């Protein structure tokens, strides 16, 4: 393989991941609506999982590599979480001060932090086993069940609605009226495209990172793959912010981090138990940087009385830039 081909693979792979994740979500929502499943349940499950589909696909493709796949998979999780809050969250706040709802600060943010801390005892021995991966997936499933339960209660009481998934559900309305087979085809093509896109992304990223820059598997996962799989969140949040939908942006960022930590790590380990080659991801520097960024995001919202202003946004972006520089020179 040569460098131009690797760049093409990386770019095309990321585009395929992005578009096929949209196709999978739209087809799955269309199927669910045709089968009479409520929009609430669809939004909390299918749509939410779809936003993390690129990370899931890329991490699974990583662990299926001969060696170093575990570092890329976990690095993808850490890097995506850091990019979501520091880079994407910071850029959004620079565009327009970001308002964080009291519910998110009270419920989703603590869950995000607890999910991150839950990884520590699992990663300390530098090995993620099948049973440990199943535990992560079980916790994820339990959290989803609780989220659906509380959201149904709030919706019944007329307190809150799931506006963060309104746009996705609206886009799927046209699919709901189409034949069942058409929606099933969209789901099948979306899943196949995710697998193909993930393979292209990982192969291209590994070649570029190692041959051009001499990067380790961990740094490749923390930077190239993580940034690429976070692009959908970046675009979605910027568009939502420009429209004034703060709940969409914050919900997407915090929710995506919870999904990455539990679903992505758990899915990768369930497909193939994997090892970590160094201490940096197994409770080392990069792990604690991820936790610190999550805490800093919450802290800026609390200090700003539920508003992350432009100064705080600039600080978050500078933090991400400093982190990337550290990765390349550490």
- pLDDT tens-digit readout, 271-296: 999 988 878 888 888 999 999 999 99
Residue 128, strand partner residues? 274
**CATH class, range 3-329:** mainly alpha
C-alpha dihedral, 306 to 309 to 315 to 318, nearest 10°: 120
- For range 172-197, the mean pLDDT: 71
Q: For residue 43, is pLDDT > 60?
A: no
- pLDDT tens-digit readout, 47-78: 556 667 778 888 888 888 767 788 888 988 99
Record the pTM: 0.80
* pLDDT interval class at 162 (50, 70, 90): very low
Give the model's pLDDT for residue 41.
53
Sequence ranges of the domains in the chain:
3-329
| DSSP state for residue 126 in the 8-state scheme | S
- Evaluate whether 92 touches 241 at the Cβ level (below 8 Å): yes
- pLDDT tens-digit readout, 215-264: 888 888 888 888 777 776 676 667 666 766 555 567 768 878 888 899 99
Q: What average pLDDT does the chain have? A: 79
- Evaluate whether 84 touches 287 at the Cβ level (below 8 Å): no
Encode burial over 60-95: b for 16+ CB neighbours within 10 A, e otherwise. bbbbbbeebbbbbbbbbbbbbbbbbbbbbbbbbbbe
How much of the chain, in percent, has pLDDT values that exceed 90? 22
Provide CB contacts within 8 A for 249, sequence distance 6+: 92, 98, 236, 237, 240, 241
Give the model's pLDDT for residue 288.
95
Task: Supply the DSSP string of 252-286, one letter for each residue.
Answer: HHHHHHHHIIIIIHHHHHHHS-EE-SSSTTTTSHH
pLDDT, greater one: 172 or 297? 297
Measured CA to CA, the distance from residue 38 to residue 56 in angstroms comes to 25
Cα–Cα distances in angstroms (integers) from residue 126 to residues 220, 272, 278, in the given order: 18, 14, 7
Give the model's pLDDT for residue 174.
55
- For range 179-185, the mean pLDDT: 77
């Amino acid at each position: 393989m040569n460098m131009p081909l690797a760049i093409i693979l990386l770019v095309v792979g990321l585009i395929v991941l992005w578009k096929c994740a949209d196709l999978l979500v739209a087809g799955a929502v269309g199927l669910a609506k045709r089968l009479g499943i409520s929009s609430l349940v669809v939004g909390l499950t299918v749509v939410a999982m779809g936003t993390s589909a690129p990370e899931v696909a890329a991490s699974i493709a990583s662990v299926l590599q001969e060696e170093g796949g575990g570092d890329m998979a976990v690095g993808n999780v850490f890097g995506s979480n850091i990019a979501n809050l520091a880079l994407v969250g910071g850029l959004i706040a620079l565009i327009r001060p970001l308002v964080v709802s009291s519910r998110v600060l009270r419920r989703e943010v603590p869950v995000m932090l607890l999910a991150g801390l839950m990884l520590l005892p699992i990663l300390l021995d530098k090995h993620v086993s099948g049973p440990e991966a199943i535990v992560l997936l079980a916790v994820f499933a339990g959290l989803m069940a609780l989220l659906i339960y509380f959201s149904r209660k709030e919706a019944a009481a007329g307190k809150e609605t799931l506006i963060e998934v309104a746009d996705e559900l609206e886009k799927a309305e046209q699919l709901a009226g189409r034949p069942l087979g058409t929606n099933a085809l969209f789901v099948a093509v979306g899943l196949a495209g995710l697998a193909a896109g993930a393979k292209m992304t990982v192969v291209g990223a590994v070649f570029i990172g190692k041959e051009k820059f001499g990067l380790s598997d961990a740094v490749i996962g923390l930077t190239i793959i993580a940034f690429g799989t976070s692009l959908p969140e970046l675009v979605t949040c910027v568009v939502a912010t420009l429209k004034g939908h703060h709940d969409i942006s914050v919900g997407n960022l915090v929710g995506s981090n919870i999904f990455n930590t539990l679903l992505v790590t758990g899915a990768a380990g369930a497909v193939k138990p994997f090892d970590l080659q160094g201490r940096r991801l197994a409770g080392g520097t990069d792990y604690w940087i991820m936790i610190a960024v999550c805490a800093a995001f919450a802290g800026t919202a609390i200090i700003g009385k539920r508003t992350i202003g432009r100064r705080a946004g600039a600080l978050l972006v500078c933090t991400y830039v400093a982190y990337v520089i550290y990765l390349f020179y550490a």
